[in-house]
Structure 1
């Protein structure tokens, strides 16, 4: 395996992750197309979930160590009104296959833009959660043109930095050999005390990703104020009041001061797992936002 390329720890690790991933996909609504899109940095796995009518489609970008199945709670209500595409982030655990090192934020935007070209998405609303929110903004500021709008769910390294304590805790999710009970305790803390037992699909998926896969992508560079000011598209940011990944009020203040077309809300009772905690409410808010953008 080339240096700087994310990979599974071995055949047994891939088989374990694939089984969990397959179980997760079985919980989703049916997709009508699966794609393996070639890019300059590897092949990107994407799915299309059909919705009614010709409205501008939506692209979902997942969080760290949590590919497409993490959106099982969100897809039904989103599909009620729009076609939805999902991708497994390149360099993260999933069915995308990285072959060339991703060295910086420009590379991150490039592969995602090339994937949109391959999917023939000339105009798309992008919804990103956590690191997926950062990826969405990074794409929009570096490769503008295809992104019609952004919906950001508690995005990291976008409106606020990651607190030092979470950087230390994250070692439990990345260092090999950390006991599963400790990994689950950290994941529960990040998720606002949620149940992260092996019975919860999202928890199984993240746990498999952290144990079976080696991340080689660089840490995300914080989005600058000048980059945020440059965004000339509508942005809806839903920030979690109980998030441990950012300070919601501080992030909201920075977003309101820098975004030209921003709608910023702090959902006081939400944790960093906001996407799974409020799927119906997020869909209702997002649909109103997208309808207004398209109208």
Structure 2
């Protein structure tokens, strides 16, 4: 049993500091938001709700460690057309509270399904960035009956191995968790178009990593087998920045087109890995083109 921990953090004070910086990132949202906590078999899931109450529901999964607060730019462009749900993924440092080990891919299926049930979503449209992209693809593969269509933004692993540079920088953040390694050498490296508001998000990542207690096992993103990917039964779009750093964007594009049926690939100009915060308008336009098109198909 871990001593003196609080909601996955080293202490109540550590959690309160994280909450303070989370609030600072939320100040960048120009959209009215509400928060809810959904009790699941693996923990309490924090969800940011925004957008049009009668709009088509879209469910978002963030990049590892950057939390649901990272979607501030994208939400602004979508608020008038969709009901938006931004999930703080269990097993990471964020505002959700993990209470059990996430050892298997199926464990994520269980709690995500429980969240969808609580939100009243029978069949979801899902958008996932980086590690969130892995979660979305994993869900679509194992629970296709609950998925309508998916958008993967620079998915971690999944169909293309990440490069050595990524793993070396990530290892340094764990071996020597100082501000230089975490913020300067890792978070900023993930971006091409840098903006002042990104620094608050990077500070949130830094506070989270240096104050979290890894009490519960989580499943890291892995490559899916080609045979399984070939059986994907839902439409999928993959987007990657032209300056992506965790793998060569051209190789991800090739892998996606070869391994995923019903797949289209979009390249995002002047962006590296953090495309939702680097190019929010472009990502929002892509989302609207995908899911508005799907709406038209359903109405025929």
Name the TM-score, length of structure 2 as normaliser. 0.89
- For 1:129 and 1:280, the matched residues in 2 are separated by 15
Q: Contact 1:56–1:124 (CA<8 Å) still a contact in 2? A: no
How far the C-alpha of 1:198 sits from its partner, in A, is 8.7
List alignment gaps of at least 5 residues for structure 2.
none
Q: Secondary structure at the match of 2:239?
A: strand
- 1:249 is matched with 250
**1:122 is matched with which residue?**
122
Aligned counterparts, 1:191-230, within 5 A:
191-192=191-192, 194=194, 200-215=199-214, 216-230=217-231
Post-superposition shift, 1:88? 0.3
**Residue 104 (1) aligns with residue 104 (2):** yes
Structure 1 unmatched runs, 5+: none
Q: Does residue 75 of structure 2 align to residue 75 of structure 1?
A: yes
* Alpha-carbon separation, structure 2, partners of 1:233 and 1:248: 23
RMSD (Å), alpha carbons: 2.2
Q: Using the alignment, how far apart are the partners of 2:194 and 2:210 within structure 1?
A: 20
Paired position in structure 1 for 2:95: 95
The residue that corresponds to 2:61 in the other structure is 61
Any idea what the Cα deviations from partners look like across 1:39-97, whole Å, max 9, x if unmatched? 11111111221326x44211111111111211111111021311101110001111111
| Inter-partner Cα distance in structure 1 for 2:51 and 2:198 | 28
Partners of 2:257 and 2:263 within 8 A in 1: yes
Change (3 A) 1:22 1:55: closer
Asked whether the 8 Å contact 2:62–2:70 carries over to 1, the reply is: yes
- 2:177 is aligned to 178
- Identify the residue that residue 273 of structure 1 maps to in structure 2: 274
CA distance in 1, matches of 2:167, 2:275: 20
Q: Secondary structure at the match of 1:122?
A: coil
Q: What secondary structure, in the 3-state scheme, does the structure 1 residue paired with 2:56 have?
A: coil
1:199, distance to aligned residue in structure 2 (A) = 7.4
After the TM superposition, which segments of 4 or more aligned residues of structure 1 sit over 6 Å from their partners? none
TM-score normalised according to structure 1 size: 0.91
Distance, in Å, in 1 between the alignment partners of 2:223 and 2:166 is 16
**Alignment match, 1:41:** 42
- Is the CA contact (8 Å cut-off) linking 2:191 and 2:278 kept in structure 1? no
- CA drift of 1:193 comes to 7.1
Within-5 A mapping of 1:282-293: 282-293=283-294
Corresponding pairs, count? 290
Q: Deviations over 1:99-124 (max 9, x none)?
A: 11110222122221221112211122
Residues in 2 aligned to 1:199 and 1:82: alpha-carbon distance in whole angstroms: 25
Kept in 1: contact 2:51–2:80 (CA 8 A)? no
**Residues 241 and 48 (structure 1 numbering): CA distance in 2 closer, same or farther, change over 3 Å?**
same
Where does residue 241 of structure 2 map in the other structure? Answer: 240
Query: CA separation in 1, counterparts of 2:49 and 2:43?
Result: 20
Structure 1 range deviating more: 39-48 or 6-15: 6-15
The aligned counterpart of 1:7 is 8
